Amino acid sequence: MGSSVRISWWALAIRGVAGILLGIAAFAWTGIALLVLIALFAAYLLVDGVFAIVAGIRGGSWLLTLEGALGIVVGIIALVRPGIAAVTLVYLVAVWAILSGLVELGAAYRLRRIVPNEFFLVLGGIVSIVFGILLAVNPSAGVVTIVWLFGAYMLLFGVLALALALRLRSSGAARVIGPV
């Protein structure tokens, strides 16, 4: 039951170029990129909320219906007040970093009798806590950082996809990859 995977080098190249351009745009127009990401997330919340309500009503689950309604409300808030959505995301990451840092410190304390050099876990916990505090103190820097990380990811993905596309094109053997 083998199947073949067809790879069009040019389609992969287009994806790579699109990724590179999106990554550059995230760095060049950070504010616009942030608004677009928030708008896409809000649209997702709205669509997801509608489907959750439908599923909840059909399945008789008031919790799923409530989840859908909450998703729609949060989606509307994100569309109307994108700044609130961005800052809320940063605060969630900050709280997560602080709490995970505290857990890492607790784990290091418990591991000190079992594992020598638990220093790395202590250091990791401290770094997590400091990162969380820095985000909480300066959420606007956190928002920019999130957009820049997205931009860096898109640049890297784009370069790798484009490199693979060019390699596939030059190899000539990329039309069909054997059984999967």
Query: Is the pTM higher than 0.75?
Result: no
> Which amino acid is residue 151, in one-letter code?
G
End-to-end Cα separation, the chain, in angstroms:
9
The mean-pLDDT minimum among 135-139, 159-163, 166-170 falls in 166-170
In whole angstroms, give the CA distance from residue 167 to residue 171: 6
| Sign of the torsion formed by the C-alpha atoms of 86, 92, 95 and 100 | negative
Mean pLDDT of 32-61: 91
Q: Is the pLDDT of residue 1 over 80?
A: no
